[in-house]
Structure 1
C-alpha cells in the first residue's frame, strides 16, 4: 500500500473509520472493525442502496442465515469450483495468491482468468519471488484452494455446514416460498444485504480484500421470452465501458457512450444488464463516487463463469489500481435448475398461455399387480422411472419391452404392463424456470472508494487542511454544533438546545466544545461532516430572532441563519432542493475569520 492508500489508512484509523480487528491479540489478517465513523458511513451506504435497489424498484428484501448446510453448496457448485490459485514459498512457508503475484509483477491484468498451468509458467518466466522473504517460486506448484469456511451444525460433526461465500444462495434456496409472495408472477426481484465469508489466501489493500465483508445483492427473476426492462428510464445515462473487444485489441480504449446506444449497438448484449448498469451508474454518482475514476469492464471469456451469458464489473480507481466494486451477471436458469435438481421443492413458475392449447402427452399407468410381486419394495421406484422415461423418451416404449435403471440396476418391464399411451389434452400454460440477472455490490469496497475519492487537501488560513468531501447522502454525521467559546453558559445552553432540535428533526449531530473553533472545524472536516453550526454572542444579542453561523465544509464559507429556520434550510440543502449558494444569496454571509 502506498501514496493515497497509506494516507487513507492512517486517517481511517485515527478518525474511527476502520482498523484491523482484535489488535490486543495481535490481530488476524483479513478482518476489520468499523469504528463509529465507518459504521455510520457503511450504514448510510446500505440505506442508500436499499432505497434505490429495493424500495424504488419495488423489490422484496429478505435476510437469510449466514450458515447453510453442505447440500446447498453442493448444488450451487461452490464445493467443487469456488477456488483460488495458491502457491506456497518453499523457504518461509508463506502462502500467496499466484495470480495476484503475476498481476503485481507484470503487465498482465487478469491472471485470474488463466489456466493453472499458464500461471505456473508465468511465475518462472518472470522470475517472481516470494514478497515475504524473497524465495524463488519458479518451480513451485500452483494448487486450487477452496475459499469457504467450514463448520458443523449442532453437536459433533455429523451435519457439516459452511459460512456463505455470497448472499445469493439464500435467495435462490428460498425461491419456492418467495415466489408465493410475488403471486407467482414474473418479473420480480429479491434483495439482501448481509455478511459473507471467504477464506482469502492473501488478504490485502485494507478493506478491499478481506475474509469477512458485506454484500448487497439483487436477484432479478424474469421470463426470458416475455420480460424486458424499461430501458427508456436509463437510455440517456452516460457510461464509460471497457468491453472485451477493446481489452483484447492493441491500444484498446474505453467506449464513452450511453446505455441506450450500448444496448442498441450490442456492446452490452442484454437489455437487463444494460438497465442495471444505468441504475448503478446513477447510484454511484449519487453517493459520491468520482465518475472520472469509474468504469464498467466486461469479463474476459476466461473470467466468466460457465453459466453466465454475460458479466460486467463496476470498477473504481484507487491509488493507480482498478478495484472491482460490483458485478452484473446474466446467470440464466443455472441456479434455480441446480437447486431443483438437488432440493425437494418446486423452483418453477407457471406461465399462462394467451389461449389454451391442445398438446400430446405421453402417459404410463404401470400395472402394480404385476410390478409388486416381481420387484417388491422397488416396485414404486420402477413405476416412477417408467413415468420419467415416458416424458423424456416416448420412443423407448415402441418395442415389446422397456428398460429402466433403478438403484444402479437395469429393470425390464413388458410394454403392456407399463400401459404406455399418447393422450391429447388441453392445457392453459406451462411451468418454466425463471432466468436470473444479478447485480452484486461490495459494500466495504464502496466505502473504501468513497473515502479515497473524497480525500482532499487544501490551504485554509495559511494552514494545510485535510478533509473528506463526502456526499451528504452518506456522510457519517450531518452537522457539527459548537458554542464559539465553552466558558459562557448562555452559549453552551443555546448550542445544546440546537443539538436537541436538529436531532428531533432527524439529523445526525455531534457536539464539540473542546479547543479552538478552528481545531473543531478541522476535526469535522477530516471526518467529512458537511456542515458546522456555531452559536456566538452576535447571534443572540441582536434585536431580531436568534441566529447561528452555518459553515459549509468544502468551501469553508459561512452564512448566518435564524435558528428557527435552521433545520428546514439544512434539510433543503441536503435533499438537493437548494444549494449553499442559495443560502448565501438569501441570508447574510459571514466574512469574519473564525477558522483560525
Structure 2
C-alpha cells in the first residue's frame, strides 16, 4: 500500500516542468536552435492530455448545451481588429531596462516585488510612481528602473496577406472574433432564433512582453470559447439547473476590503444576494465548476474572482475569472464575461453587413415613427458641405427626442457648435406604421477557457509523491477521463506465451476504445513506476497464472492505491470501459 505525502507538502512547479520534459508532456519548442521564448511543444503525453481536456470541454459546452462549433482561420484582415478595438486597445505595459535593454511587463515587475496584486488595473503614471517609490530593478540584470518610461505595447502579431500590394492582417489574439465576423451567416444556421451559442477550440496568438512560467503565459496558446447570443430583454438562463452548485467567490467588494475574504455559497444564493449580478454569467459559472472538478482541478485550490473595474476589458459589463492556486499564486484559467452588444454593433458599424436578428412578433403592431424630410434647398445654402451631417443630426434627434420639434425652431449641435433651424424646414412628422417585428442586436455571454492553463493546473494538482515498498514514488493522480493513457499492459517476463496473450489483451482493449500502451522493458516494478509517473490509471499484468490456471485471468493494478485484483480476460475490456465511463469503481470489483 502507498503512503501519501502530507497534504501540506505541495509539489513545486520546477518538479513538474522537469517531469513534463522527461516524460513527454511539454517542452520549449525549437530546442535544437536554442529555443524560442513563449512557444511550447506538447509531446505525446501532453498532446493526448490536451486533446482529452478539449474533448471534455466540447462535450459539456457544445454538445450538452446544444451549441454549434466552427473552425475559423487564425489570420484575419486588419479591418476586423480595427472594428473590435484590438488595434487601439489591446496593450500591455512595457518598461525597458536602461542597462541590458531587456523589456519587461511593468505590472508584473510591480506585482512580483510590492504589495500590489493587480497592478494591471493601475494607470501608467501610477505604475511609474510605484516603480520609483519601491526602487524596483530589472529582473534580468538588477539595474534600477526608476525614472524609466512605462509605455503601451500592442500584443498582436502582424503579417501580410498575399504578395505585392498585400493586405495587412493579424494573427488572431482570441478565437472570438472568428465567431463574431461570421454572425450574419451563423444566425441563419440557428434559424434566426435566439438564444443560440457558437463554440470554437483553436490557437490564439499574443506577442507577450515577458512570457514566463512554462505554458502558463505563452505567445501561442489554445482557447476554448463559447459565444452565447441572447435577447437582453427576453432571454433568461435556466438557473434552476445550477442553483445548488457550490462555489467559492471572490467579489470586488471583498477584494477592496482590507479584511475581505472569499465567500463560500451556491449559485442560487449568489444571484439572489446580488454577488453575481448577471444571471447568464452565473449560469455558466454553475456549469464550469463541476466541469473543472471532473477533469481534475483540486476544488480546495479553485475560485471565481470578479474583475476589478480597472482590469475589466473594454467590452465587458461584468467579468469573473476561474482561478487555480499554483505554488501559492492564483492563475487565471478562464474568463466569464457579458460582452453586451459591443462586438456585433462594432462589426455592423465597420462592415457592410447586418449583425442583428429579426424578431417576429406574434401579431403585427401599430407604432408611431418620428421622421424628418428636410428642405435641402434651405439646408444646402445655409450649411454647404455639412448639410448631410445636419440631416443625420436631425434624424438622430427625431428618433431620440421628438419633443425637441414642438416649438418653432429646433436646436442641433454640429462640430461643437449649436444651430437653430425652423421646424418647418425639417419636414418633421409622426406617422403610424404597422410592423411585423423588429431587429435586435443580441448581447453576448462569453465563457473563454485557456486550455493550456487548464492542462497545467490539472498536472500540477495531480502531482503526488509517496513511498511504495520502501521506495519513493512520483505519480500523477489524473482523472481517467483525461489521462493520456488509460491502461498499460505488461507481460510479467520475456516469454513468448506471455507476450502473445499480452498482445491479444492490447488488441481487445483498443477495440473497446481504450488508450493502451504495451511495455515489456525492465522489471515489473519499474514498469509500474513509469506508468504511475505519466498518470496511467490502471496496469494489466499477464503472468504465469494467466496461462496455467483453468480460468484465464490477469492482474489489474490501480495507480493511486496500488491495489491489485484479478479479472477474467474475457470481461476485462467491458469492465475497464465501465470504469472509465464512471459507471463502475475499481473498489467495487
One fold, TM greater than 0.5?
A: yes
Give matches, 1:104-123, under 5 Å: 104-123=112-131
Matches within 5 A, 1:310-349: 310-349=318-357
Q: 1:397-416 alignment to 2 at 5 Å?
A: none
Q: Distance in 1 between matches of 2:70 and 2:414?
A: 40
* Distance in 2 between residues matched to 1:391 and 1:275, nearest whole Å: 36
Q: Give the equivalent residue in structure 2 for 1:302.
A: 310
**1:527 corresponding residue in structure 2:** 534
- Shift of residue 402, structure 1, vs aligned partner: 9.9
What are structure 1's unaligned runs of at least 5 residues? 584-596
Match in the other structure for 1:518: 525
Q: Secondary structure at the match of 2:115?
A: coil
How far apart are residue 571 of structure 1 and its match? 1.2
Q: 1:547 aligns with which of 553, 556, 562?
A: 553
Q: Identify the residue that residue 181 of structure 2 maps to in structure 1.
A: 173
Q: Distance in 2 between matches of 1:267 and 1:481?
A: 51
Pick from 575, 582, 589 the counterpart of residue 569 of structure 1: 575
**2:152 counterpart SS class:** strand
**1:387-536 maps to which residues of 2 (within 5 A)?**
391=399, 421-486=429-494, 488-536=495-543
- Inter-partner Cα distance in structure 1 for 2:167 and 2:411: 37
The question of 1:252 aligning with 2:260 is answered yes
Using the alignment, how far apart are the partners of 1:267 and 1:406 within structure 2? Answer: 43
Higher mean Cα deviation, 242-251 or 205-214? 242-251
**How many angstroms apart in 1 are the aligned matches of 2:120 and 2:280?**
26
**What's 2:565 paired with?**
559
* Structure 1 position 352, deviation (Å): 3.1
In the alignment, is the contact (CA less than 8 A) between 2:373 and 2:428 conserved in 1? Answer: yes
- Secondary structure of the equivalent of 2:24? coil
Distance 1:524 1:532 in 2: 8
Q: How many Å separate the matches in 1 of 2:320 and 2:400?
A: 37
Q: What is the deviation of 1:55?
A: 0.2
Once the two structures are superposed, residues 284-312 of structure 1 have per-residue CA deviations (whole angstroms, 9 ceiling, x without a partner) of: 00001000011111111111124322111
Q: Could you say what secondary structure the match of 1:260 adopts?
A: helix
Counterpart mapping for 1:341-360 below 5 A: 341-360=349-368
Give the direction of change, closer, same or farther, for the CA distance of 1:9–1:245 in structure 2 (3 Å limit): same
Alignment of 1:123-202 (within 5 A): 123-202=131-210
Structure 1 residues 508 and 259: CA distance shift in structure 2, 3 A: same
CA shift at 1:3, angstroms?
6.2
Deviation at 1:156, TM superposition (A): 3.3
Q: CA RMSD in A?
A: 2.9
CA drift of 1:356 comes to 3.1
Count of aligned pairs: 579
- The aligned residue for residue 58 of structure 2 is 50
| Rounded Cα–Cα distance in structure 1 between residues aligned with 2:230 and 2:337 | 14
Partners in 1 of 2:410 and 2:70 — Cα distance? 48
In 1, Cα distance between equivalents of 2:309 and 2:393: 39
The residue matched to 2:21 in structure 1 has which SS? helix
Judge which range, 270-279 or 36-45, deviates more: 270-279
Instruction: Evaluate the alpha carbon distance shift between residue 104 and residue 501 of structure 1 in structure 2; reply closer, same or farther with a 3 A threshold.
Output: same
TM-score normalised per structure 2? 0.92
SS of the residue 2:221 aligns to = strand
Distance in 2 separating the partners of 1:106 and 1:382: 54
Q: Distance in 1 between matches of 2:368 and 2:312?
A: 40
User: 1: distance between equivalents of 2:77 and 2:124?
Assistant: 30
- Alignment match, 1:76: 84
Q: Is residue 382–residue 411 contact of structure 1 (8 Å, CA) maintained in 2?
A: no
80, 102, 108: which is aligned to 1:100? 108
Match of 1:243 in 2: 251
Q: Distance between the aligned counterparts of 1:221 and 1:397, measured in 2?
A: 37
Displacement of 1:163 in angstroms is 0.5
- SS at 2:17's partner residue? helix
Contact 2:11 2:463 in 1 (8 A): no
Instruction: Note the residue ranges of structure 2 that are not aligned, 5 or more in a row.
Output: 1-9
CA distance in 1: counterparts of 2:114 and 2:46, whole angstroms: 34
Mapped partners of 1:465, 1:496: distance in 2: 28
In 2: Cα distance, 1:463 partner to 1:535 partner: 24
Point out which structure has higher relative CO (alpha carbons under 8 A, 6+ apart).
2
Change (3 A) 1:245 1:380: closer
Give, in angstroms, the shift of residue 439 of structure 1: 0.6
TM-superposition CA deviations, 1:136-182 (whole Å, max 9, x none) = 00111100000000111111354111100001111111111111111
1:113-157 C-alpha deviation (Å, 9 max, x unpaired): 001011101111111101111110011110000000011111135
Deviations 1:499-551 (A, max 9, x none): 1111111011111111111111111100000111111110121122x111111
Taking the TM superposition and a 5 Å limit, the aligned residue runs for 1:262-281 are 262-281=270-289
Give the TM-score taking structure 1 as reference length: 0.91
Helix, strand or coil at the partner of 2:87: helix
Contact 1:194 1:214 in 2 (8 A): yes
* Residues 1:25 and 2:33 are matched in the alignment: yes
Q: Which runs of 4+ in 1 moved over 4 A?
A: 363-372, 377-407, 410-420
Contact preservation (8 Å) 1:188, 1:221: yes
The whole-number CA distance in structure 2 between the counterparts of 1:314 and 1:382 is 49
Cα shift at 1:380: 10
CA deviation vs aligned residue, 1:326-372 (integer Å, no higher than 9, x gap)? 01111111111111111111111122335432111234678999999
Could you tell me how far apart the structure 2 residues matched to 1:572 and 1:313 are?
34
1:274 to partner: Cα distance: 0.9
